[in-house]
Amino acid sequence: MARAVLVTGASRGIGRAVAQAFAELGDRVAVHHRGSPGLADEVLAGLPGSGHVVVQADLADAGAVRQMVGQAHDGLGGLDVLVNNAGIFVPHPVTEVSYEQWQDAWREILAVNLTGAANVTWCAVQYMKATGGRIVNVTSRGAYRGEPRHPAYGASKAGLNSFGQSMARALAPFGIAVASVAPGFVETAMARPDLDSARGEEIRAQSPFNRVATTGEIAAAVVYLASEQAEWASGAVLDLNGASYLR
């Protein structure tokens, strides 16, 4: 049976690959973006099947989040799967930024990556709790190994892992399973400056496979965790880093 799937941050990168993967299964997908309508429309046009929609919201705006999730539900005719993928990544090394820049970075990153995902989840659960569903969070290897130049990003992803596990406990009685994937470096536009820099060779060498992940590899794991067969993975955090960081 075709499902209704909301993917946040679906206009590019991992989110785009996730939207494509669900659509290829015959699911209807809501392609969320913050401020990239052209890219979102491009994604929409490339999805197989029908019934897909584009929705927009700044996840730092709680009111906009609630409206966006409602639009996704109405546009898709339901809501069975939520993928919390959207995130921002702003350098703010503690020894190199002003106090004001430091505060701004923490406020902006946590508002989108953690509080925003929590708010999207609350809104989605209001629909899912009557019918069951799946929630998959896209976190990061940085939640465990540390992010010295992006500490708020690492903290937000660690918080998202914990949040997902709390939700797995809270929502199981409603037939909602919640799991997370924690990628390392992935071939995306967000990672491109690092991959193309002098550090690119070192980044690839972090994995014994001497490469970084493709967006399709991450999408495949998300699709599995959102499947009917993956209920018993609820609460899990799946590391997807090519053995570059083991814990």
pLDDT tens digits for range 210-228: 999 999 999 999 999 999 9
Query: What phi and psi, each to the nearest 5 degrees, are found at residue 119?
Result: -70, -40
Give me the mean pLDDT over the 147-163 stretch. Answer: 97
Tell whether 17 is covered by a domain: yes
Question: Within a domain: residue 247?
Answer: no
Please tell me the total count of domains within the chain.
Answer: 1
Query: How far apart (Å, rounded) are the C-alpha atoms in residues 44 and 142?
Result: 30
Let me know if residue 94 belongs to a domain: yes
For the full predicted model, state whether its pTM sits above 0.95.
Answer: yes
Q: Output helix, strand, coil percentages for the chain, rounded to the nearest 5.
A: 50, 15, 35
| 245 falls within a domain | no
Is 96 a member of any domain?
Answer: yes
pLDDT digits (tens, 9 = 90+) for 84-107: 999 999 999 999 999 999 999 999
| CA separation for the pair 2, 43 (Å, rounded) | 19
> From the candidates 99, 127, 153, 245, which is the catalytic residue?
153
- CATH code of 194's domain: 3.40.50.720
Q: Domain for residue 41, yes or no? A: yes
Confidence of residue 118 (pLDDT cuts 50, 70, 90): very high
pLDDT at 194 over 90: no
Active site residue 144: no
Structural domain of residue 53, as residue ranges?
4-240
